[in-house]
Amino acid sequence: MSLSLSGTLGAGVADQDALQRTFVALFENIAHHTPLQTRVWLSAANGEGDSAHPIEMRIEDDGPGVSSDNLPHLFERFFQADASRHSMGTGLGLAIARSLVEAHGGSISAGRSRHGGLEFVLSLPREAPAGAGAEAGEGSEGAVP
Ligand SMILES: Nc1ncnc2c1ncn2[C@@H]1O[C@H](COP(=O)(O)OP(=O)(O)OP(=O)(O)O)[C@@H](O)[C@H]1O
Ligand SMILES: [Mg+2]
């Protein structure tokens, strides 16, 4: 795994738990849907994204990726690309990750990595919107749509 951080990201980027769950979902996917020897590049920079979302984090791998037909559907609930249909997963990991990131004023997208596999880009505001960070499903309203 290669890690590259440029500058400091700043405090209060987003709710720590939500960000952690998002990264766990992305790394679990690499563990479950790519071969063992797959390499991973993680980078984060403040000031790379647009003015509303200056913090950009990228996770890239050199695994098999998914077909161009499947790429636009990765964040849909219960969607699994062909090669994963017989795996243990439910197809909810990326849908939940997108809800968590959007609840914190950010966005997440998937594309083809320059290393041959998949690339996920998280764009985040410097500060999470008011109310973000309340634990989902525990009586808080609007934390996760
Ligand atoms: N890094 C990756 N390389 C190749 N395919 C991937 C990668 N990440 C996700 N995918 C594909 O995207 C699909 C959707 O991912 P998602 O995390 O939503 O569901 P899942 O991993 O199958 O199940 P769950 O996360 O609910 O256990 C996966 O089934 C897999 O086909
Ligand atoms: Mg998953």
Match domain 2-114 to its CATH number in 3.40.140.10, 1.10.150.130, 3.30.565.10, 3.40.50.1480.
3.30.565.10
Is residue 140 pLDDT above 50, yes or no? no
pTM of the model: 0.87
Mean pLDDT of 35-43: 94
* Residue bearing the bigger pLDDT, 60 or 9: 60
* 67 CB within 6 A, ligand 1: no
Between 21 and 11, where is the model more confident?
Answer: 21
Residue 65: pLDDT above 90? yes
Ligand 1, atom nearest to 83 Cα: 31
CB-ligand 1 contact for 116 (6 Å cutoff)? no
Distance 51 CA to ligand 2 centre (A): 30
Whether 143 shows a pLDDT value over 80: the answer reads no
Q: Which residue has the higher pLDDT, 13 or 44?
A: 44
CA of 96 to the centre of ligand 2 (A): 10
- Other Cβ atoms within 10 Å of 58 Cβ, number: 18
Residues 82-86: contacts with CB under 8 Å, at least 24 apart: 83/33, 84/32, 84/33
The CA distances from residue 61 to 3, 46, 54, 98, 122, in Å, are: 12, 22, 23, 19, 15
Atom of ligand 1 nearest to the CA of 63: 3
Q: Is ligand 1 within 6 A of the CB of residue 84?
A: yes
- What pLDDT score does 4 carry? 75
